[in-house]
Amino acid sequence: MVGSANRLVGSTPRSVARPPVPATGAWRDGDPAGERRFAAVGSFELEGGGLLPDVTVAYETYGELDADGANAVLVLHALTGDSHVAGPAGPGHASAGWWEDMVGPGRPIDTDRWFVVVPNVLGGCQGTTGPASAAPDGRPWGGRFPRVTTRDQVAVEVELARQLGVRSWELVVGASMGGLRALEWALMGPEAGIEVRGLAAIATTAQTSADQIAWAHPQLAAIRLDPRWNGGDYYDAPDGEGPHAGLGVARQIAHTTYRSAHELDARFGRLPQGGEDPLTDGRYAVQSYLDHHGDKLARRFDANSYLVLTESMLTHDLGRDRGGVEAALSQVTARTLVVAVDSDRLFPPAQSARIAAWVPGAEGLRIITSDHGHDGFLIEFDQLGPIVREFLGATERVA
Write the CB contacts of 253 (distance below 8 Å, at least 6 apart in sequence): 215, 218, 219, 222
Q: For residues 50 and 43, is the Cβ–Cβ distance under 8 A?
A: no
Q: For residues 208 and 347, is the Cβ–Cβ distance under 8 A?
A: no
User: Is 342 annotated in the active site?
Assistant: no
Active-site entry in 152, 255, 374, 375:
374
Active-site entry in 291, 302, 344, 371:
344
Strands (E), the chain: 37-45, 51-62, 72-76, 103-104, 109-110, 115-119, 168-175, 195-196, 198-202, 335-341, 362-368
Active-site entry in 83, 176, 260, 288:
176
User: Is 84 annotated in the active site?
Assistant: no
Separation CA 370–CA 380 (nearest Å): 7
Residue 284, classified by CB atoms within 10 Å of its CB into exposed (0-12), middle (13-18) or buried (19+), is: middle
User: Is 374 annotated in the active site?
Assistant: yes
User: In residues, how long is the chain?
Assistant: 399
Report the b/e string of 149-172 with b at 16+ CB within 10 A: bbbbbbbbbbbbbeebebebbbbb
Separation CA 300–CA 331 (nearest Å): 39
Residue numbers annotated as active site: 176, 344, 374
